[in-house]
């Protein structure tokens, strides 16, 4: 059957399939899950209504959903928790709702949340000036500070500002986790500071959870006050699973924070579970839960991605290709914003370049990216000064460090007007021939 004979939805799906196959995806929050993950998303698990939790469902016929959800919970904890202090909920639907579940679990009206400034690397779901959650909660931001590192301007979390905001505003919840932050960081110093000031800590590791799972980035899963109280994550970025999410939380109520409910028997994870069901949600999406489990199996080495490369090696390659891409971007003439230590990098475009238009120009030649604010940006959020690039997706397709450098160099030269769109298009076409595509 040709595309022209398909109904509009299947025709659009064919177009999207071809677009993904025939372009270079440098969006840091996207990846290519294994065909098995996609197979489970479209499986009969999608048919089953499993309202409740294993052993406590409200509908009949959940023998196998109970087994599935319990199995996935066990595997998720096996991937991340070495302390035995955490439980996990795999029913939350995506990353932003996962963060909202934490807010609704422990905060009251007018309580204060402290998070990184959105413009300087934070995330929309951590509250911002236009967030609807500001109807219910107060919001204060900490920031990044400039320093020089081996001749490069660098922006890192401003610990002095972080501590000052804790002392001045006494937030009930502190969020540690970022959307456009190229640096590695340690959780324990930030968690301990927050806990010393009585706050609960939410670590949002949506971007780096695959690196954490591969032991290539510090983990927020730590015992006692060194660790985060809640940990949220999506499962589709460096984790290379489905578009879904998980929430981990301490299986006890910490004594070092303000939050001391009358009933402590179910711990923080129990409070989260009640917020999700019956507090805010109905039936979980069992197809997503199954697909999360498959991603966990691939991370644990109990199943494999089509290329057979172990997950830890893939994650190491992702960091290496990102650094090579960044080096190429710099070689091509672009300014690097904080040398990368993870899967993403930030650059500043030439002052006369419109990031909106340049993003469109890159898409026209087959490179998919996103424009992005840089720290202390003087331009608007819709037309910011920078671009964000990530290599998790192309590394899944087999991108090498040499290819990443040339790709970055090509983008840099294009942005600086050194080469034409035709030259970039030729480069993209040639590189695509060398990359894998695992979907039939």
Bridge partners of residue 344, in order along the sequence: 390
Give CB contacts under 8 A, 24+ apart, made by 381-385: 381/119, 382/356, 383/354, 383/355, 383/356, 384/355, 385/348, 385/349, 385/355
pLDDT value for 1? 56
Question: Catalytic residue among 92, 234, 321, 391, which?
Answer: 234
Question: Catalytic residue among 237, 240, 371, 397, which?
Answer: 237
Q: What domains sit in the chain, N to C, each tagged with a CATH number?
A: 15-31+307-432 (3.90.1150.10), 44-300 (3.40.640.10)
* Exposed e or buried b per residue across 141-151, where buried means at least 16 C-beta atoms within 10 angstroms of its C-beta: bbbbeeeeeee
Contact predicate 272/105, CB 8 Å: yes
103 is catalytic: no
3 is catalytic: no
Question: Catalytic residue among 23, 49, 138, 170, which?
Answer: 49
192 is catalytic: no
326 is catalytic: no
- Cα distances (Å, whole numbers) of residue 97 to 94, 146, 276: 6, 32, 10
Contact predicate 182/340, CB 8 Å: yes
Question: Catalytic residue among 14, 23, 30, 51, which?
Answer: 51
229 is catalytic: no
Six token digits for residue 145: 């500070």
Six token digits for residue 235: 């499962």
Examine residue 358 and say whether the peptide bond preceding it is cis (omega within 30 degrees of 0): no
161 is catalytic: no
Question: Catalytic residue among 183, 192, 243, 274, which?
Answer: 243
Single out the residue of 400, 396, 233, 234 nearest to residue 304, CA to CA.
396
Within 87-132, residue ranges assigned H as helices are: 95-106
pLDDT value for 5? 82
Q: Could you give the angle at the alpha carbon of 30 between the alpha carbons of 330 and 153, nearest 5°? A: 30
pTM beyond 0.85: the answer is yes
Q: Which residues of the chain have pLDDT under 70?
A: 1-4, 150-151
Contacting residues for 45 by C-beta, under 8 A, at least 6 apart: 65, 68, 286, 287, 289, 290
List, as one string, the DSSP characters of 136-204: TSEEEEE-EEEEEETTEEEEEE-HHHHHHHHHHH--SEEEE--SS--S---HHHHHHHHHHTT-EEEEE
Identify the sign of the CA torsion 44, 45, 48, 54: positive
pLDDT value for 54? 97
């Amino acid at each position: 059957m040709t595309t022209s004979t398909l109904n509009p939805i299947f025709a659009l799906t064919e177009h999207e399939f071809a677009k993904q196959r025939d372009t270079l995806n440098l969006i840091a929050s996207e990846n290519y899950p294994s065909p098995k993950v996609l197979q489970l998303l479209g499986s009969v698990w999608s048919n089953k209504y499993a309202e409740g939790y294993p052993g406590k469902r409200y509908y009949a016929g959940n023998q196998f959903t109970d087994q599935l959800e319990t199995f996935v919970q066990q595997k998720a904890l096996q991937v991340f928790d070495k302390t035995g202090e955490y439980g996990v909920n795999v029913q939350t639907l995506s990353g932003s709702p996962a963060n909202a579940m934490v807010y609704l679990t422990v905060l009251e009206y007018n309580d204060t949340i402290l998070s990184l400034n959105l413009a300087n690397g934070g995330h929309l779901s951590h509250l911002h000036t236009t967030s609807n959650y500001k109807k219910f909660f107060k919001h204060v931001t900490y920031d990044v500070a400039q320093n020089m590192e081996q001749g490069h301007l660098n922006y890192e979390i401003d610990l002095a500002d972080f501590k000052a905001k804790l002392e001045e505003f006494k937030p009930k919840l502190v969020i540690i986790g970022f959307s456009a932050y190229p640096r590695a960081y340690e959780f324990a110093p930030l968690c301990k500071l927050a806990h010393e000031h009585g706050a609960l800590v939410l670590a949002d590791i949506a971007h780096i959870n695959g690196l954490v799972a591969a032991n290539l980035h510090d983990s927020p899963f730590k015992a006692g006050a060194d660790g985060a109280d809640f940990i949220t994550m999506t499962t589709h970025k460096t984790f290379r699973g489905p578009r879904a999410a998980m929430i981990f939380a301490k299986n006890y109520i910490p004594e070092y924070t303000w939050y001391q409910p009358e009933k402590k028997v179910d711990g923080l994870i129990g409070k989260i579970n009640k917020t999700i069901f019956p507090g805010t949600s109905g039936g979980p999406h069992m197809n997503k839960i199954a697909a999360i489990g498959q991603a966990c199996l691939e991370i644990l080495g109990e199943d494999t991605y089509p290329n057979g490369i172990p997950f830890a090696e893939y994650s190491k390659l992702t960091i290496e290709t990102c650094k090579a891409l960044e080096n190429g971007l710099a070689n091509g003439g672009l300014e690097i914003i904080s040398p990368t230590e993870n899967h993403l990098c930030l650059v500043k475009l030439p002052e006369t370049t419109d990031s909106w238009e340049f993003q469109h120009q890159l898409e026209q030649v087959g490179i998919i990216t996103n424009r992005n604010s840089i720290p202390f940006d003087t331009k608007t959020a819709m037309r910011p000064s920078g671009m964000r690039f990530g290599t998790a997706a192309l590394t899944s397709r087999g991108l090498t460090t040499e290819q990443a450098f040339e790709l970055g160099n090509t983008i840099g030269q294009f942005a600086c007007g050194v080469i034409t769109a035709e030259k970039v298009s030729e480069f993209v076409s040639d590189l695509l021939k060398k990359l894998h595509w695992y979907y039939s």
